[in-house]
Structure 1
Amino acid sequence: MSIPSAVKSTPIRDRQQLTDYLAAGEKPREAWRIGTEHEKFGFRTDDLRAPTFEGERGIKHLLETIATRYGWDVTREGENPVALSRDAASITLEPAGQLELSGAPLETIHQTCTEVNTHLEEVRSIADGMGLGFLGMGFQPKWKRDEMPWMPKGRYKIMREYMPKVGSLGLDMMTRTCTVQVNLDFSSQADMIKKFRVSLALQPIATALFADSPFTEGRPNGYLSYRSHIWTDTDKDRTGMLDFVFDDSFGYERYVDYILDVPMYFSFQNGKYIDLAGQDFKKFMVGELTQLPGTKASMKDFADHLTTAFPEVRLKQYLEMRGADGGPWNRLCALPALWVGLLYDDEALDAAWDLVKDFTREERHALRDGVPKHGLKLPFRNGTVRDLSEEALKIASHGLKRRAKLNQHGADESIFLEPMIEIVQSNQTPAERKLELFHGPWNGSVDPVFREFAY
């Protein structure tokens, strides 16, 4: 779901152009696609430490070998490889060396799961020989922040210096978290609004079902999704539940107003990142930034700026579901199944809207704030989040069955919901299972997680 470069280079003339840019994401139903992204922690199998960028066992060598062996194109900053691309998919480098697959826009979750498995096999085939492994969790379970390496990307240097000015956990977000998300399309502004509202109200359900970050520096941290908690003290200017999405006035124009109020991080000019942290994008549009006197923002700058807001659901030319912790391979296929089931079938979308339309602002925030600590057991109305999750999964399952996208064995996409159904039935999140192991067979050590849960 990449952005056309021709659009990116267009000069910005007025705000309407920005609204039109978001609206240009509208697609007819037959063109709707599924883009799945996931991040994972690398670790050295002998000492469990995160690999550095340089060296025979470093991320640089890993990326270059993947590119050579499997036909990926390399994107570099200076001489450093920072991303790979192939067939509309990309592998990118997160701040502390977490590896992210940004999948191609695909028609079915069967295709998405094949893509994920192919990627993990390619990475493992090289990582094994380097003495590296990869782990899917929401938060780095063992190492301190200052024990994590930093990757040589200009964008991250700017963010690293700015984050401590606006929150206490932003550097943890950068270096010690991993997520899985899915990017989905819409057909019109009205369709976008309905999908945005449903997914924002139900994002805590995904956080609960995928909660898998209960350890910090080798000990339980008191949370089930510490990754989700981290976002509450990262940067309040660019995170949160976006209450205005539920206002009658919401649409593309209102989202543009929001994004223009988000302080800037940077502008990418002539192959270099210019530090503009905290600056006003509206001033950039009219050439009034002292760091770039007379230079006016382009649509490429706007597209980049859209990526620097981190709400629970994010609008670009598609909608991004951002509430889930990273996890094992079967949950990487389960997240798109949840959201495709809820949002890509009209009857399911109506049912999901009926489920959440009377949620108050206070209830939405109570869900968002309570789920990271309490998961499925958080009380909600006359029941718990488990009850809400169970209802959402039923709606999603029916939606996927009606989509009737079958694999070669005749199974529809609802098979990918099974890991989440099992979690709801057991009323136990992945984090709670790991805590049981920690207090039992693991004898108070997190080290076994790297062996038992690695890809």
Structure 2
Amino acid sequence: MQPPDASGYGRPIEEQEAEDLLRCICFKNGPPRTVGVELEWLIHDQRNPRHPVAADRLTAAHDRVRSLALNSALTFEPGGQLELSSPPAGSLMECVDSVAADLHTVRNTLRRAGLTLTGLGLDPWHTPRRVLRDPRYDAMEAYLDRTGPSGRAMMCTSASIQVCLDSGEEEPGPLGHGRRWQLAHLLGAVLTAAFANSPAREGRWTGWRSTRQAIWAELDAIRPVSPPLHREPRAAWASHVLDAPVMCVREEAVPWHRPTALSFRDWIRTGVHRPPTRKDLDYHLTTLFPPVRPRGHLELRMIDAQSGPDGWVVPLAVVTALFDDPEAAETVYRTVKPLAEYAGTQPAPTNPLWLNAARLGLADPELRATAVSCFNTALEALPRIGASTAVCDAVAAFHERYVLRGRCPADDLRIPSVRPAAGVCGKEPGR
């Protein structure tokens, strides 16, 4: 069946063309020059965060925030979570200052409505409730429901910090794209553990430091995982994307068509329903959720949202220093490389390294030792990339409070009205 306005979908795409596009558009090579961050926040009632915010009240708050003049792109997630995506910045401090100004404006607006932004990786009290109605989210919900309740929890109750960095140079070396790809997947487990901040779900402690990451790993067997790391990144990613199942076929009519067990490669070859186009490939990319997603840059998606007004600055600063300072990048790669044996042959985030990072945080001795070395390296590199004294002090304070003690933010959380989960011996994680 052809769509009513076929011109809106473009010409059909060929298989080799799709592979070439995936290699080029997802790994744009060049010296690292820019950094960005995407901050997701839960929105709670300021006085009683355990009380669900009525949908009409949340929608009205969204409308107020949409009217603001912001440097960052503003979007809202299916459960009403707020997301700010910074423009590419030429330095760490340019990114920090721009986003901090936007957050100040947004917080003041929400405060006047009696609402507040909450920095936790997962809502600790509320069951998933979808506020936004859109064909995309209808299709996503239906697809993820096939494998259980984790999809709705991810869509409606999770929040993260996503750091975006240039893919890297074509040539091998500490800033080469192959090295950065490997580094992201090994350091990613350390970041999951160090910044784990979601130990509760729907009113119960779960036994995981990062329940958000545990939920992502449960979505299905393909969408949340990375391609094999032993292969060349561009070839591995192209195969992974084309062999991943199609979540939905966009069309004028709603609901959108929801195929079963149809890979994008098979869609190209069969043209079932209608032939896919470049726009369909671009959309298909947005329905894959690995912890490191190449989108012309590297999007690191494994960090829980952080508590406090400026908690988000620490992971942004640490990641930028370790990836974009050449000396630090070389040092940290040697530091995390032994974790490859810990990870085994399974992909992230479903291998033993990543699962223990989400469950144990820095209580895992190997992750703790690696995190200490990584933070020390970041602290040495931050002045070299122009970090302010305030940013350096914030990273140092986090290092002393958590990393050196083998703890993470989840270990310090005191959440009212959260009950023990079965099998956790009546104790909160980390106690």
Q: 1:253 to 1:443 in 2, by over 3 A?
A: closer
Structure 1 runs of 4+ with >6 Å offset: 443-446
Q: What is the identity, as a one-letter code, of the residue corresponding to 2:177?
A: M
TM-score, normalized by length of structure 1? 0.79
* Counterpart position of 1:58: 58
Alpha-carbon distance in structure 2 between the residues aligned to 1:413 and 1:433: 22
* Offset from partner CA, 1:53-89 (integer Å, 9 cap, x none): 4x3x222x22322233x23xxxxxxxxxxxxxx55x3
TM-score under structure 2 length normalisation: 0.83
Matched ranges for 1:198-347 at <5 A = 198-242=183-227, 244-245=228-229, 247=230, 249-269=231-251, 274-278=256-260, 279-286=262-269, 288-290=271-273, 292=274, 296-328=275-307, 329-347=309-327
Q: Secondary structure at the match of 1:101?
A: strand
Q: Structure 1 stretch 390-399 or stretch 227-236: which is displaced more?
A: 390-399
Q: How does 1:105-116 map to 2 (within 5 A)?
A: 105-116=88-99
Which residue of structure 2 aligns with residue 159 of structure 1?
A: 140
| Cα distance in 2 between the residues matched to 1:400 and 1:241 | 29
For residue 450 of structure 1, what is the aligned residue in structure 2? none
Deviation at 1:330, TM superposition (A): 2.5
Which whole-Å CA distance do the structure 2 matches of 1:121 and 1:271 have between them?
Answer: 41
Secondary structure in 1 matching 2:303 = strand
Aligned counterparts of 2:373 and 2:244: Cα–Cα separation in 1: 35
Tell me the distance in 2 between the aligned counterparts of 1:271 and 1:336. 41
Residue 105 of structure 1: how far off its partner (Å):
0.7
Counterpart residue number, 1:119: 102
After superposition, where does 1:37-52 map in structure 2 within 5 Å?
Answer: 37-45=38-46, 47-48=48-49, 49-52=51-54
Unaligned runs of 5+ in 2: 1-8, 345-350, 421-431
Q: For 1:415 and 1:153, how far apart are their aligned partners in 2?
A: 43
How far apart are 1:44 and its partner, in Å? 2.5
**For the residues of structure 2 that align with 1:122 and 1:223, how far apart are their CA atoms?**
34
The 2-side partners of 1:288 and 1:272 are apart by 20
Report the RMSD for the aligned CA atoms in angstroms: 2.7
- Which position in structure 1 is the counterpart of 2:113? 130
Query: Which residue does 2:30 correspond to in 1?
Result: 28
Q: State yes or no: 1:13 paired with 2:4.
A: no
**Which residue type is aligned with residue 330 of structure 1?**
D
* Residue range with higher mean Cα deviation, 227-236 or 18-27: 18-27
Which deviations, in whole Å up to 9, do the C-alpha atoms of 1:260-284 show, x marking residues without a partner?
1111123444597733354321233
Deviation at 1:211, TM superposition (A): 0.9
Relative distance call for 1:44 and 1:356 in structure 2 (3 A) is: closer
Identity %: 23
Classify 1:44/1:414 alpha carbon distance in 2 versus 1 (closer, same or farther; 3 Å): closer
Which of 398, 404, 420 is matched with 2:398 structurally?
420
Deviation at 1:15, TM superposition (A): 2.6
1:315-355 CA distances to partner (integer Å, 9 max, x unpaired)? 12111111111113323111221221111122222222212
Residue 310 of structure 1: SS of its match in structure 2? coil
Q: CA deviation at 1:363?
A: 3.3
C-alpha distance in structure 2 between counterparts of 1:129 and 1:412, whole Å: 28
Q: Which whole-Å CA distance do the structure 1 matches of 2:418 and 2:224 have between them?
A: 34
For the pair 1:100 / 2:100, whether they are aligned, the reply is no
- The 3-state SS of whatever aligns with 2:83 is strand
CA distances 1:86-134 after superposition (whole Å, capped 9, x unpaired): 55x3111111111111111112222222223222222222212222222
Unaligned ranges ≥5, structure 1: 1-7, 72-85, 447-455
How much does 1:168 deviate? 4.1
Aligned length: 397
Q: Determine which structure has the larger strand proportion and give its number.
A: 1
Q: CA deviation at 1:443?
A: 8.2
Alpha-carbon spacing, 1:142–1:315, altered in 2? closer, same or farther (3 Å) = same
Measure, in 1, the Cα distance between the counterparts of 2:387 and 2:301.
27
Paired letter, 1:64: D
Alignment deviations for residues 366-387 of structure 1 (CA, whole Å, 9 cap, x no partner): 221112221101133xxxx211
